[in-house]
Homo-oligomer: A and B are copies of this chain.
Amino acid sequence: MSRRPPLRIVEVGPRDGLQNEKSVVSTAVKVAFINRLSTTGLKEIEAGAFVRPDRVPQMADARKVFKRINRRRGVVYSALVPNERGLDAALEARADKIALFTAASETFNRRNINASIAESVERFRPVVRRAASAKLPLRAYISTAFWCPYEGRIPPRKALDVCLKLAEMGITELSIGDTIGKANPDEVRAFLGPALKKLKAPSIFLHFHDTYGMAVANALCAWEEFGISGFDSSAGGLGGCPYAPGASGNVATEDLLYAFKSSGGAVPAEPREVCAAARRLAPVLGHPLSSRLSRVLR
């Protein structure tokens, strides 16, 4: 079997991307963005989050977004939820998949969601149970899995422990996040080496931010050396790093597609098409897109 499997992308632009943009984007623009993305060949789009609107105003219209999008056959429209109440909303909105979130750093988790890692994982249980009975697939985000803005470097073992707890709970897809974009290929290797002895490669998604320009190198390393095929990214490189104002956001989907396609990988969508979907947002966001490809096509 090839060490370089076809690329699987979870497009997080409409959620993680927009959530970290200052401009509040209208429902109509979000819906058009998601609809356009779903024509590119991307197979999964995180379309919104059912979270407290006072905490995350950008996601306040998630119900409307889910209601108004044109659902394309074969595309999974997922939703981030923090708890059972979020799950209720996601079920009502007919989300195809649910994403939960915790962290590998205690301090980060405490500051982000006011819970210890163990507490947040315990809160997952009823959500996991109900999602399972509704036959909804689940993913979990493990943020600050490499570096934490408060604790610094996170030992790989600590991130892996969180992953293993979530896997034991029945969560079959884990998104390992480099929330502040500080990871390098050695740190990716240090995590994946031990992790792949306990977890299967297809269950692992890597979620890189391009704060310092390391995301493509990290992703190629994971794919070439460990056969990891799952990555999160945002069209246009939407978003930012909440701990580095102005910084680049999630690695741009088009730059990741370019890198893998260029390196002989099978990719689900054409880089240009994804970039084109994001370019329509630029006037609304008030800044140019941060992806490399968007500069070439500008």
Chain B's closest residue to A4 (CB) is B186
Cβ-defined partner of A216 (8 Å) among B211, B213, B291 = B213
Provide the residues of chain B in CB contact with A150, threshold 8 Å: none
27 CB-based A-B contacts, threshold 8 Å: A184-B220, A185-B220, A185-B224, A185-B263, A186-B263, A211-B292, A211-B296, A212-B255, A212-B262, A212-B292, A213-B213, A213-B216, A213-B255, A213-B258, A213-B259, A213-B291, A213-B292, A214-B258, A214-B262, A216-B216, A217-B220, A217-B259, A241-B296, A244-B296, A246-B295, A248-B292, A290-B295
Interface residues in A208-234 by Cβ distance below 8 A to B read 210-214, 216-217, 220-221, 224
Would A182 and B262 count as touching, CB distance under 8 A?
A: yes
Cα distance A292–B291 in the bound complex, in angstroms: 10
Would B247 and A212 count as touching, CB distance under 8 A?
A: no
Cα distance A182–B217 in the bound complex, in angstroms: 15
Provide the residues of chain B in CB contact with A252, threshold 8 Å: 213
Chain A contributes a number of interface residues (CB within 8 A of B) equal to 33
Chain B's closest residue to A261 (CB) is B184
Question: Hey, what's the 0/1 contact readout for A196-212 against B, CB within 8 Å counting as 1?
Answer: 00000000000000111
Provide the residues of chain B in CB contact with A290, threshold 8 Å: 295
The verdict on A286 contacting chain B, using a C-beta distance below 8 Å, is: no
Provide the residues of chain B in CB contact with A264, threshold 8 Å: 186
Would you give the shortest CB distance from A189 to chain B, in whole angstroms?
10
The verdict on A293 contacting chain B, using a C-beta distance below 8 Å, is: yes
- The secondary structure that dominates the A interface is mixed
The verdict on A73 contacting chain B, using a C-beta distance below 8 Å, is: no
Task: Knowing A216-B216, A258-B212, A259-B214 are in contact, say whether A296-B185 is a contact too (CB < 8 A).
Answer: no
Cα distance A296–B224 in the bound complex, in angstroms: 29
Provide the residues of chain B in CB contact with A184, threshold 8 Å: 220, 259, 262-263
Cβ-defined partner of A212 (8 Å) among B186, B212, B213, B293 = B293
The verdict on A298 contacting chain B, using a C-beta distance below 8 Å, is: yes
Would you give the shortest CB distance from A123 to chain B, in whole angstroms?
33
Provide the residues of chain B in CB contact with A248, threshold 8 Å: 292, 295
